[in-house]
């Protein structure tokens, strides 16, 4: 497990907390896990990336790692867009929260 790799958007938006993913853990994840042999079942849960060590690697594992990298990059992009929109007027900001986090109650 590697903590603080990507932002937990629900926490950031609902609790108005700062970004929860940091560049350092993401660099380690990309350099030593994503795209390398020996890792499978890679998944992102909140701010933590979970992976399983293995001696073998199949095409499925490589595709899953690529998907998780794309998903993580999308999380970072959405977070940056959200941060840009926080300077908007309150009614517009509330509408954006409803779009990004389904079921958010004000």
Taking only the tens place, the pLDDT of each residue in 15-61 is 665 555 577 888 888 888 887 778 888 888 878 889 898 888 788 88
For residue 49, tell me if it sits in a domain: yes
* Count of domains forming the chain: 1
For residue 106, tell me if it sits in a domain: no
As a dihedral over the C-alpha atoms of residue 48, residue 43, residue 32, residue 37, rounded to 10 degrees, the angle is 160
**Residue (of 64, 38, 45) closest to 1 by Cα position:** 45
pTM of the model: 0.66
Instruction: Kindly report the average pLDDT of the chain as a whole number.
Output: 78
For residue 80, tell me if it sits in a domain: yes
Mean pLDDT of 71-83: 82
For residue 73, tell me if it sits in a domain: yes
pLDDT of residue 104: 46
Mean pLDDT of 61-72: 87
For residue 81, tell me if it sits in a domain: yes
For residue 105, tell me if it sits in a domain: no
Expressed as residue numbers, the domain containing 53 is 2-100
Ordered DSSP codes for the chain: -EESSS--HHHHHHH-------HHHHHHHHHHTTTSTTEEEEEEETTEEEEEE-S---HHHHHHHHHHHHHHHHHHHHHHHHHHHTTS-HHHHHHHHHHHSTT---
For residue 9, tell me if it sits in a domain: yes
């Amino acid at each position: 497990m590697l903590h603080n790799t990507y932002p937990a958007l629900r926490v950031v938006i609902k609790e108005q907390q700062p970004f929860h993913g940091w560049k350092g853990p993401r660099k380690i994840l990309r350099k030593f896990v994503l795209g390398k042999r020996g890792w499978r079942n890679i998944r992102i849960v909140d701010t933590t990336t979970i992976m399983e060590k293995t001696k073998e690697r199949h095409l499925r594992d490589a595709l899953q790692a690529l998907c998780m990298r794309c998903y993580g990059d999308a999380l970072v992009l959405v977070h940056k867009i959200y941060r840009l929109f926080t300077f908007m007027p309150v009614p517009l900001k509330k509408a954006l929260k409803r779009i990004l986090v389904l079921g958010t109650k004000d």
